[in-house]
Amino acid sequence: MRIRLFIFAFFLFVSSENIELLDNVLRSMRKGLDFFRLELKNLNLDSVIGTRIVEGQLHQALISHRKIPNRIRLEISNLIEKAALISNLSIPYIQLNQPEYYNTLQGSIQPGIWELNEDLQRTYQVTDHFISPREQMKESQSDECVANVLGTNDNPKRKCIINKFCLDLMTIDGFSKYSLSHQLFFWQLTKKAGCLKDNSLKHIKELNKRICSNMLVEAEYFSKQSSPRYHDLFMEQIALCGMEGFREDFCKEEWTLKIINWQYDDGCWGLTENSKRIKREEKVLKNGCLAHRTAVALSSQTQLLRHLLEKSDN
C-alpha cells in the first residue's frame, strides 16, 4: 500500500514527461560529483565554486519545494552532502596549490555564499546585442573587484569596497561572453555579502536583468554551434542567470539534454575535438577532463533541476 501511495504521489508531483529528465539530471550530477570526489587533490578553486553552488542551490530547492517526494528529497540531500564534503576536503589542497588565487577569492567558496533564491522573472527581448570576438575585461580585474567586496584571506575585515574603477567596470554596457558573466558574478556576490543598500538593490536587479537578457542572446547562438568551443561559457550562463531567477528562459529541455550528452563516462565534462582552453584558471584533469567545465556543468544542472521542480509545482 505504501509503495502504491508513493508512486501515486510521485506522479502527482512530477508530470510523466519530466520524470525521466529529472532522474537523468540527478544521475548526471551524482556522476559529476563522484568524479570530483576522486580528484580531490587536483581540484582548483573554480571547482569548489561549483560544488558550493551545488550545495547552496540544492538546499534552496529543498526549502522552496516542501512537497518533493521522499525519494527525490533524499537524492537531493545526498548530493548536497557529497558536494559539501568535496568542498571542505579539497580546500587545504587549493590553499597549497593556488595560494595567491585562494587568498584573493576565498570569499567565493565560503559555506552559504551561493544560497541565492531570487524571484522568478523573464528577460527582455534583445535584438541589438553584439558578441565581441575579444573579451573586454581581464580576469585579474574581476578578481580584484570581487576581493574588495568579499575581503581577502590576508585582510578579511576589509570588505564591501567598490571603488570607481570597479563600479564603472561592472556597470558598463556592451560587454559580452566571459566579461558579461564576470559582471553578473560580481553583483551576485556583492548582494549576498550584504554590501548593497536598499536604494541600490533595485538598480542592480535591473542591471542584472539587462545582463541576462544579453546573455540569453549569446546562449541561443552558442546552442546552435556545432563547435564545442563555447560549451563552458554556455553552461556558465545557464548557471548564473538561472540563479538570478531566469530559469524559464535558460533551462530549456533541449539544453538540458545537450549538457547531459556532453558528459564523459568518467562523470566529468572535458576536452573535445577543436575545443580551446580559453579560461585562465582551467585545469586539465585525468582523461582530458576539465575542472572549470565540470564545475559550471554541475552548477548549470542545479538550475535545470530547480526548473523541473518548479514546473511540477504548476
Asked whether the beta carbons of 36 and 84 are under 8 A apart, the reply is no
* Separation CA 167–CA 40 (nearest Å): 36
* Separation CA 283–CA 263 (nearest Å): 17
Which residue range is the domain that position 201 belongs to?
Answer: 2-313
Q: Within 10 A of 163 (CB to CB), how many other CB atoms are there?
A: 11
Count of domains observed in the chain: 1
In single-letter form, the type of residue at position 145 comes to C
pTM of the model: 0.93
In single-letter form, the type of residue at position 225 comes to Q
CA angle 59, 60, 61 (to 5 degrees): 90
C-alpha cell at 311: 514546473
Q: What is the pLDDT of residue 312?
A: 82
Q: Report the chain's mean pLDDT, rounded to a whole number.
A: 91
Choice between 123 and 15, residue whose per-residue pLDDT is larger: 123
Q: Within 10 A of 13 (CB to CB), how many other CB atoms are there?
A: 18
Given a cut of 50, whether residue 101 has pLDDT beyond it is yes
Would you mind telling me the total number of residues written for the chain in this entry?
Answer: 314
Given a cut of 70, whether residue 133 has pLDDT beyond it is yes
